[in-house]
Amino acid sequence: MALRWSRMCWLPRCVLSARIRTVPTSRCLGLQRTLTSAPHPLQICIVGSGPAGFYTAQHLLKHHSQTMVDIYEKLPVPFGLVRFGVAPDHPEVKSYGAEDKQKLGIPGEDLPGVYSARDFVGWYNGLPDNRHLSPDLSTETAVILGQGNVALDIARILLSPLDLLKKTDITQAALNALSQSRIKRVLLVGRRGPLQVAFTIKELREMTNLAGIQPINCPSDYQGLGDIIKDLPRPRKRLTELLIKSALKKHGENEVVQRTQSNREWGLRFLRSPLAVLPSEDGKRAAGIRLSITRLEGNGETAVAVSTGEVEDLSCGLIVSSIGYRSIPISPRVPFLQKSGTIPNSMGRVQGVPGLYCSGWVKRGPTGVIATTMTDSFDTAQSLLEDIKSGTLSCSNPRPGASTVRELLLLRGVQPVSFSDWEKIDAVETARGIEVGKPREKILDPEEMLELIFRGHTTRQL
């Protein structure tokens, strides 16, 4: 969908609202809102049905009464990150933007036993592309490279009691694998120190309160921070205080009892940067990771990790790289910065391409939480509305837009998946979930989704 019409503004990697069209594996989605008050309503095309797109569409529909939005999605199901990215035990956060993962760029990262966070999260959340991942959880120690919210999410899923996970919409395949898991220890490795961790206090508090899980942190990592934290911004101060409390609490009688009752543990390892994945003796899978010991130059958020020349080896059979997601170019016609994985833009206006806007991670990079994406998306929508008001974006020459897309799909023999079609999938998933005491049991195979929707139809093509 790299086409652009003068009145149909295309926002890469965003979401839906007035009309949704899904293209699973090259198929399109469709919900329609009819506007009769305007002879030529403002037509907006949004590509991608994750939070960024939803929030962009919401702002446009709220602040421009003559707006029609078409949202296009490659999968047969909408909602992007809300469905496939947010941890299953965080339903209150469910409201993709970046389709690729950052490579470690180190020897051995392609060995079995090494996974990207994007693929691992997609596996337990039911992303069709990752349904065959089948990670080996027979090791006792897992290492997660990264210290952000996604890294903590993965650690929590690996260590959570099954009774808790059974009440979520985690996939049955993941639940079965976790029920056989032998993982007892999860270590989260970061190249910088405790003052630079990227997770939030909510996620940290959940880990520290997880039943049957004992934190194993090094008190020496937190020495000297007491005098520093008083001058930190309040969110960072509270987060660091909780880190220190968790690491330095006295080993009293209650602590001894807790350690005795705990059969799993997790910990943070600071000032470590990955150098190589160490293979097993037969060379067929990962057996450990070699880390460069680093030191910090500078202070606070701008501190840079520099190698000391020393190394450390950690034995582990499962390694998850949680160093960030990455957007990919969507069309040769759209400028793209390979290094940052973003589209060059000014407040969402794509540089050098009038009428083209971007929102979400492809706009600012894979940072922030859903609330950040909401604000960012509102800003992009506002830029578009300001351009209409100033005359920078002309709406005087209406072009076919969505009707042309429909004709193109018809010529190609592609049957779009509509929003009402998605509701059929939703109903089946919800019913299957109720049978096993879960909010939903996701369908993992796009072909099964399409068979459910188009059963009895004579025209169907991927």
- The pLDDT tens digits for 20-64 are 444 433 333 333 333 333 445 778 888 888 888 888 998 999 998
Residues 6+ apart with CB under 8 A from 139: 113, 182, 183, 316, 317, 318
| Domain endpoint, select from 325, 347, 369 | 325
Domain count, the chain: 2
CB-based burial label for 293 (10 Å; 0-12, 13-18, 19+): middle
Tell me the average confidence (pLDDT) per consecutive run of 10 residues in the chain, 462 residues long.
28 34 36 37 83 88 86 84 63 49 86 94 92 94 95 95 92 95 97 93 92 90 86 92 81 48 87 96 96 92 92 97 80 86 91 89 79 88 92 74 83 87 92 91 90 66 41
374 and 320 inside one domain: no
- The pLDDT tens digits for 220-264 are 899 888 888 888 999 999 999 999 988 876 544 455 545 555 689
285 and 341 inside one domain: no
Contact 316, 289 (CB under 8 A): yes
313 and 398 inside one domain: no
| Domain endpoint, select from 325, 357, 386 | 325
Q: Show the domain range for 387.
A: 8-82+327-454
Rounded Cα distance between 179 and 251, Å, is 31
353 and 437 inside one domain: yes
| Domain endpoint, select from 292, 325, 358 | 325
Strands 114-116 and 67-73: unpaired
Rounded Cα distance between 4 and 52, Å, is 19
Rounded Cα distance between 108 and 230, Å, is 42
Per-residue pLDDT at 278: 97
255 and 332 inside one domain: no
Contact 436, 397 (CB under 8 A): no
